[in-house]
Amino acid sequence: MAEGDWRLDRIGSAHHGRNPTVLRRLGTGFAVVGDRQFLPGYSVLLTDDPAVTRLSDLPRPRRAAYLCDLERLAEAVERACARLDPAFRRVNIEILGNTDPYLHAHIWPRYDWEPDDRVRLPVWLYEEECWRGERYALAPRHDALRAAIGEELDRLGAARAPA
């Protein structure tokens, strides 16, 4: 990654309008599409405060609002993926925090077309090609999917301010 690369500061670049993965600004963070799309529709909810490293860092009302935003993004991914791929099965939601130090949650669509040896396992067990290869890199071919998730977020009221 080059210096000045938005990926070095995903949250700051989202605040400044330079993060190209941002789908929508939500009440407590940013709904972004994942850099890797081996499971089409993979999205992430980034906190809007890089100093927040875990869910328990947030005061209870803001914590509840973050979880509400997470549920909204997960439902938007579910609706969009189900509409675009009849083999859509479900979404998995994870808050891990093992690599990036700021609070973020992963929304992983799961499909019936996944290999039998992978479909019931965590996505983290997919082969290295899925995580590093160009075949699955976010690209213009994902624009319709991105638009569909954004439209679903709008239908679900993504622009509402947190309570």
Residue 12 confidence class, pLDDT cut points 50, 70, 90 = very high
For residues 12 and 15, give the distance between their C-alpha atoms in angstroms, rounded to a whole number.
5
What pLDDT sits at residue 97?
Answer: 83
Instruction: Please give the structure tokens belonging to residue 121.
Output: 């396992």
Instruction: Please give the structure tokens belonging to residue 56.
Output: 């328990």
Three-class HEC string of 23-47:
EEECCCEEEEECCECCCCCCEEEEE
- Choose the weakest-confidence range: 56-65, 90-99, 143-152: 90-99
Residue 3 confidence class, pLDDT cut points 50, 70, 90 = low
The structural domain count of the chain equals 1
Q: Is the pLDDT of residue 51 over 80?
A: yes
What pLDDT sits at residue 163?
Answer: 38
Note whether residue 29 is domain-resident: yes
Mean pLDDT of 10-19: 95
Note whether residue 139 is domain-resident: yes
User: Which residue in 154, 135, 121 sits closest to 40, CA to CA?
Assistant: 135
- Work out the burial of residue 15: count CB atoms within 10 Å of its CB; fewer than 13 is exposed, 13-18 middle, 19 or more buried: middle
Note whether residue 11 is domain-resident: yes
Report the CATH number that the domain containing residue 117 is assigned in CATH: 3.30.428.10
Q: What are phi and psi of 140, to 5 degrees?
A: -55, -25
* pLDDT tens digits along 100-131: 999 999 999 999 999 988 888 899 999 999 99
Note whether residue 1 is domain-resident: no
Which residues, other chains included, contact 97 with Cβ-Cβ below 8 Å and sequence gap of 6+?
53, 54, 103, 104
Residue 2 confidence class, pLDDT cut points 50, 70, 90 = low
Q: Is the pLDDT of residue 1 over 70?
A: no
Mean pLDDT of 128-153: 96
* pTM to 2 decimal places: 0.92
User: Which residue in 158, 25, 155 sits closest to 79, CA to CA?
Assistant: 155
Note whether residue 163 is domain-resident: no
Residue keyed to tokens 């972004």: 32
